[in-house]
Structure 1
Amino acid sequence: MTSPFQFQTTHTDGHARAGVFTTPHGKVATPQFMPVGTLASVKALDPEDLTRLGATMILANAYHLRLRPGDEMIRTMGGLHRFMQWDGPILTDSGGFQVFSLEGLRTIAEEGVAFRSHLDGSRQQFTPESVMQIERNLGADVIMQFDHVVPGQSPHELAKVAMERSVRWLERCRVAFERLQADDTRAPTPVQALFPIVQGGIHADLRRDSARSIVNGGDWVGYGVGGLSVGEAKPDMYAMLDVVNGELPTNRPRYLMGVGFPEDLVEGVARGIDLFDCVAPTRMGRTGAFFTRTGRKNIKNAQWRLDPAPLEDGCTCAACTRFSKAYIRHLFVAEEILGLRLLSLHNVHFLVALMRDARAAVQAGTFAGWSRDWLAHYHSSKTTS
């Protein structure tokens, strides 16, 4: 039987590539930014907003959805696609980052992680096997392995322990995943893809060992790169992407987890990354920050009080084509909910459009010059937040 998952690279320019990732719920042109709908909702945005701005794949989180409203409840409602009325591809994170960020509320063992819910303090446990069942119930197209995440600046010894445990847990995820694919044929999405996650902190030898162990451990549909943008310096993150780029197969999509600032997306594409996600565009939008081609700005600054221009000249998002900076600033000063929605929409649109432009540059064979000029322009004005 032909797999519903396919990845075709159509153009390359250096290490950057443009391609198409085919899933059971549609095609994703890459490189692509995936808006984050942690709780089955991209905050302040409707699925129709996402379609209009060009998003094709979104992300949800197994940890949060397990706790509320419950993965079994979502399965009963027909799975995430039907539950949230999004008919495009979905990826679910395993919740590894969220579980390991519960400092003081969790206990790590080889079996899994025991923790207390941040909502009500109830006792919970995540294991590789239970997470595969949770993600099966949610019904995303792509599901992530359960991994051990450590802070970005973790010393070599701690990063090594977490990386090796992640590799061991990947094998347990694989076994459970294959069993569920064979036995649980009435799941919301019968055929899913399991992505492994390359770990290793900011240590090149560990990243290399992790990637090689994963590649040797199975024929994966795609690969995640995790444990970055978690406190390490940006040059360290870019250096780890260079290492991983040299180790992973070129005929599979690569997903850089939790990275979503504009400059990082451009630098990631230059290093062979195809998929990105981050909560930053909506989280920042709710605090008044918005992306522009000359850096990040804050709509609450007094300089915008009488500014009739849009957030970004030439931007085609629904906020920029209809409203002025003066009006949106007024909404924030007056604490009107519409302001949060408009900046969230603009920021997500900005990143989706940025990846569309990057894809066009790769297709035209001009990515190196385009990215150099884009980054120079982006850094040309002082960022204000």
Structure 2
Amino acid sequence: MSGRAPSNARESRFEVVYQNGAARLGRIKTSHGTFETPIFMPVGTNANVKLMRSDELKKIGATIILANAYHVAVRPGLDVIELHGGLHRFMSWDGGILTDSGGFQMFSLKNFRKVSDDGVTFVSPYDGSKLFLTPELSMDIQTILGSDIVMVLDHCPAIDASYTEALEATKRTHAWAKRCLRHGVREGQLLFAIAQGGAFEDLRRASARHLSQMDFDGFAIGGLSLGEPFEMTLQLAHATISELPEDKPRYFMGGGSPRTIIELVSLGVDMFDSVYPTRLARHGAALTSEGRINIKSSRYRKDLSPIDSRCDCLVCKSYTRSYVHHLFNRGETLAGMLLTYHNLHFMFRFMERVRKSIMDGRLEEMRKEVAEVYEERGENAAGVLASGHDSLRRHR
């Protein structure tokens, strides 16, 4: 495929502009704009963030979102995406897009796939059709999609996989990363590797060291946020981060709760994605400055206050808790729409506060505040994390 840039021709488009301890403020330049880190990316698995229009996302502060290459390639199909001129035009989104390679579907669709060193054969859960996904094909698919950040094809083992299984998956991930890098991406696209290693710290460190020797534009921490204990998440993430280069962005895949994010920012992570805020919203849970609340609870039936008294989003300015409670009680679609809008607005403002706290030297103070708010209301970290991953559908 023509128009590709060899790996040694790409120049870094990431800069650390300020650092406070391990936490850092940075900028990533993409073909669809420059965004500041640490950043949270909402998930649009099927080329849409559920219950949100693209113009609404932009209005509340989204600059880059995530889509899944495997799902979009299967439905609607690459021919439809090509007809539109790429994923950006297809979904009417002029911001950044990061595409996941399909590697996680090896984990989430384990009953519909067969893995070998050459690639993975998927049997579509939709119509039974087969797709043999190789590292090279994954790169070609994401080239056609036209995403700004491309993820390598990786092998994500289960968090409870044995050492032998995790080692095999990690070796395969390294081999596939090399093939993805050799195949290349379109000029202007950034290519990120994914460190694996299961639940084993030595494998995590070795994976990060091995991949760091290759000329990738950024590095992701994969295979976590799958329901494992919170302290294990932090320990394994820290082990990975300690072996990654300081001049490249670090992306934690599938982390989306405020507690998870601020703890990992403190360790030096720059990018996050998760269905956490949107999935919670569809089930009636709101993220607020006082913690997470269940708006479907009868206690809010006559509550005339906004979802969050400290929030200035359109929902909090216009509607009461009582009204949103009523919508959920009657099964109205608008309920999920309003709460999704609010939760994403909350996350973008939360990330602004995180960035400011790094600059002001108050990150540790904010970290303690977040821990107190979410733990005082019965939301221990492990519970938050477990509810944040995508029920084996998309997230690491």
Query: Which one of 191, 194, 200 corresponds to residue 203 of structure 1?
Result: 200
- Cα distance in 1 for residues equivalent to 2:54 and 2:334: 17
Equivalent residue, structure 1, for 2:390? none
Normalising to structure 1: TM-score of the pair? 0.94
Instruction: Write the distance in 1 (CA, Å) between the matches of 2:342 and 2:312.
Output: 9
Residues in 2 aligned to 1:242 and 1:303: alpha-carbon distance in whole angstroms? 41
Shift of 1:37: 0.8
Unaligned runs of 5+ in 1: 182-189
- What code does the residue aligned with 2:168 have? V
Mapped to 2, the partners of 1:99 and 1:164 lie a distance apart of: 15
The residue matched to 1:196 in structure 2 has which SS?
A: strand
Alignment of 1:158 with 2:171, yes or no, is: no
Q: AA paired with 2:199?
A: I
In the TM superposition, what is the alpha-carbon distance from 1:294 to its structure 2 partner?
A: 3.2
Classify the secondary structure of the residue corresponding to 1:104: helix
- The residue identity in structure 2 corresponding to 1:127 is T
1:79 counterpart (74, 86, 101) = 86
> What is the CA–CA distance in structure 1 between the aligned matches of 2:118 and 2:67, rounded to whole Å?
25
Question: 2:301 maps to what in 1?
Answer: 305
- What residue in structure 2 maps to residue 13 of structure 1? 20
Amino acid at match of 2:275: V
Contact 1:305 1:329 in 2 (8 A): yes
**How many residues matched?**
374
Equivalent residues in 2 for 1:1-385, closer than 5 Å? 6-177=13-184, 181=186, 190-216=187-213, 218-383=214-379
Quick one: distance in 2 between partners of 1:316 and 1:155? Answer: 48
For the residues of structure 2 that align with 1:151 and 1:296, how far apart are their CA atoms?
A: 29
Cα offsets for 1:127-154 (capped at 9, x unmatched): 1111111111100000000000111222
SS in 2 for 1:54: coil
How far apart are residue 244 of structure 1 and its match? 1.6
**What amino acid is the match of 2:305?**
A
Quick check: 2:135–2:153 contact (8 Å CA) kept in 1? yes
Q: Match of 1:186?
A: none
Q: Check the 8 A contact 1:358/1:367 in 2, yes or no.
A: yes
Amino acid at match of 1:96: G
Contact 1:100 1:150 in 2 (8 A): yes
Cα distance, 1:360 vs structure 2: 0.3
Instruction: Return closer, same or farther for 1:4/1:351 CA change in 2, 3 Å cut-off.
Output: farther
CA contact (8 A) 1:21 1:29 kept: yes
**Separation in 1 of the partners of 2:289 and 2:349?**
11
Identity %: 41
User: How far does residue 3 in structure 1 lie from its aligned partner after superposition?
Assistant: 5.6
Contact 1:151 1:231 (8 Å CA) reproduced: no
Is contact 1:196–1:214 with CA below 8 Å preserved after alignment?
A: yes
For the 8 Å contact 2:30–2:188, the answer to whether it is kept is no
- Give the secondary-structure state (helix, strand or coil) at the position aligned to 2:315: coil
Secondary structure of residue in 1 paired with 2:318: coil
RMSD between aligned residues: 1.7
Verify the 8 A CA contact 2:67 2:97 in the aligned structure 1: yes
Asked if the contact 1:13/1:366 (under 8 Å) is kept, the reply is no
More off after superposition, 191-200 vs 309-318 = 309-318
Deviation string 1:203-238 (CA, Å, 9 cap, x unpaired) is 11001110011011x222111111001132111110
Do the aligned residues in 2 keep the contact of 1:63 with 1:99 (CA within 8 Å)? no
If the length of structure 2 is used for normalisation, what is the TM-score? 0.91
Q: Is the 8 A contact 2:258 2:370 kept in 1?
A: no
Separation in 1 of the partners of 2:79 and 2:140? 10
Contact 2:107 2:158 in 1 (8 A): no
- Cα 1:341/1:130, change in 2 over 3 Å: same
Per-residue deviation at 1:111?
A: 0.8
